[in-house]
Chains A and B, each alone.
Chain A
């Protein structure tokens, strides 16, 4: 019992040291910038300044403080990111499945899936906008498009990673295609699927913020771009930088938790 506690505490220690190290480097940089630049808050403010901006009660527009603005817009963006992520992940898995079932489809689609990733959001947005006529729907669709690729590639790699012997075993057991997928392919592709999810969950957040900037309205990206254009306090920008990093990490760990909950296949032990 004590030992477990020890390990836990040491693990926290590690993270703590990492964080402290980063803070040290940041503060060092901020001190230098403070001495050399006229408006250091635009380049690298001190962490305590950012923290102060979170807790201040000064209103930056008619009704809200900087942090209230960030939070209320963060909720909107997070919701879009969530919907986009679920659609994207589902689509990615489905596509991987279809591509694995029908080889020609894989051959046809794969290069184009990659190509879609290459189309900058800016190019995609006017088309999606022209189709949906609604900026918020467009935002969700684009977030989904941007997140499905890691899931699709990783899951497909998972399907392909199954050893020939196992296939042959299933075949010798006269398993149907459905059974092969249910009992062999899908379970053994799960770790890969989750790798994809772990990559694309933070990406969904990034994507949601990115698509916010396309047009005015509400959302983290919108206020981020306002802040960057100095239409409001720059600390909103710095708060969003931290908030998006925190949400990104949380989304990553959410996927880890999900993986542990769903798949009993490997509890830390290597096969």
Chain B
């Protein structure tokens, strides 16, 4: 279940991968031998054994891949648009501090509306977007993820663009640098680590909101939808197979993020 992440790091990276894997194997053993169930007081019904879950995953490969595709498309699309929107908001808030701060609080207000409230609204609003149920559902779901990813990015981008190293701004001023130069040479580079802080929150959030938005979508597809259908039908083993898939998507996306972070922030420290 735990895929090894091959990231070319220094010696430390060996333990970074090894420790969680060992822990994971230990956990799996506890789980399969039902010691975990005794520990938690759960039965094999609510927490099915890994063997059975794996078997379901192998038995239903094509169906699962179909569902993964739908979910990943929504999550990545929403993450992409949400992050760009959030960063733009951060920039606007920096350029026009007076007006931008209001925008930031509006963004965080909207993100405070629960996804389960946003998803059905958008489902209704996008009814006329396309005649094909799948397309309009995709559209509605992507907007939901976009909204959830915007707030985290905008707050962090704003911090990254403004919390500069001491005196750096004065230094730039002493060079008589234009506002644009300050942005390009100082603020934007300074914000890069903050972008990753935001992404560390919004990558998992994008997947969760993609899963939840699928509950309400008109077109029945996606990992989240399968989890819900199976839980409601009391098919916990199958539901868990999809939960494992959801976790795997999350880990892989997070791994990609870490790799990108490692590559981009290498020379910094």
B102 contacts A270, C-beta separation under 8 Å: no
A237 to B216, CA, bound (A): 15
- Once A248-B113, A249-B112 are accepted as A-B contacts, the answer to whether A228 and B43 lie under 8 Å apart by CB is no
Task: Check: B138 CB closer than 8 A to any chain A CB.
Answer: no
A198 contacts B103, C-beta separation under 8 Å: no
Interface string of A189-206 (1 = CB under 8 A from B): 000000100110010011
- Chain B nearest CB: distance from A22 CB in Å? 7
Which of B108, B156, B164, B228 meets A249, CB within 8 Å? B108
Determine the interface band of chain B, counting residues with CB < 8 A from chain A: 35 or more
- Chain B nearest CB: distance from A96 CB in Å? 13
- Once A123-B227, A131-B40 are accepted as A-B contacts, the answer to whether A118 and B116 lie under 8 Å apart by CB is no
Task: Check: B124 CB closer than 8 A to any chain A CB.
Answer: yes
B106 contacts A18, C-beta separation under 8 Å: yes
Chain A residue numbers with a CB within 8 Å of B239 are 122-123
B20 contacts A112, C-beta separation under 8 Å: yes
Task: Check: A117 CB closer than 8 A to any chain B CB.
Answer: yes
Chain A, 33-87, CB within 8 A of any chain B CB: 42-44
Chain A residue numbers with a CB within 8 Å of B178 are none
B46 contacts A126, C-beta separation under 8 Å: yes
Interface string of B102-114 (1 = CB under 8 A from A): 1101101111111
A251 to B109, CA, bound (A): 10
B125 contacts A252, C-beta separation under 8 Å: no
A197 to B108, CA, bound (A): 13
- Once A108-B19, A240-B117 are accepted as A-B contacts, the answer to whether A131 and B152 lie under 8 Å apart by CB is no
A209 to B16, CA, bound (A): 36
A244 contacts B227, C-beta separation under 8 Å: no
B124 contacts A117, C-beta separation under 8 Å: no
Chain B residue numbers with a CB within 8 Å of A17 are 99, 102
Chain B residue at smallest Cβ distance from A252: B108
Chain A residue numbers with a CB within 8 Å of B155 are 195, 198-199
Task: Check: B66 CB closer than 8 A to any chain A CB.
Answer: no
Chain A residue numbers with a CB within 8 Å of B125 are 43-44
Most chain A CB inside 10 Å of its own CB: which residue of B117, B200, B239, B249:
B117
B208 contacts A15, C-beta separation under 8 Å: no
- Chain B nearest CB: distance from A110 CB in Å? 8
Which of A111, A157, A210 meets B197, CB within 8 Å? A157
B41 contacts A108, C-beta separation under 8 Å: no
Task: Check: B82 CB closer than 8 A to any chain A CB.
Answer: no
Task: Check: B8 CB closer than 8 A to any chain A CB.
Answer: no
Which of A10, A237, A270 meets B98, CB within 8 Å? A10
Chain B, 1-58, CB within 8 A of any chain A CB: 2, 15-16, 19-20, 22-24, 40-43, 45-47
A154 contacts B197, C-beta separation under 8 Å: yes
A244 contacts B112, C-beta separation under 8 Å: yes
A195 to B155, CA, bound (A): 9
- Chain A nearest CB: distance from B224 CB in Å? 6
A-B contact pairs, 11 of them (CB 8 A): A44-B121, A123-B227, A123-B239, A123-B243, A130-B41, A131-B41, A157-B197, A199-B152, A205-B114, A221-B116, A248-B111
Please provide the 4 A-B residue pairs with the shortest distance between their CB atoms, ordered closest to farther.
A248-B112, A118-B250, A202-B112, A107-B19
User: Told that A209-B116, A241-B113, A241-B117 touch, could you supply 20 new A-B pairs with CB distance under 8 A?
Assistant: A18-B106, A107-B20, A108-B20, A110-B20, A115-B251, A118-B247, A120-B212, A120-B243, A122-B227, A123-B240, A126-B231, A129-B46, A130-B41, A130-B46, A150-B201, A153-B197, A154-B197, A206-B112, A249-B109, A270-B163
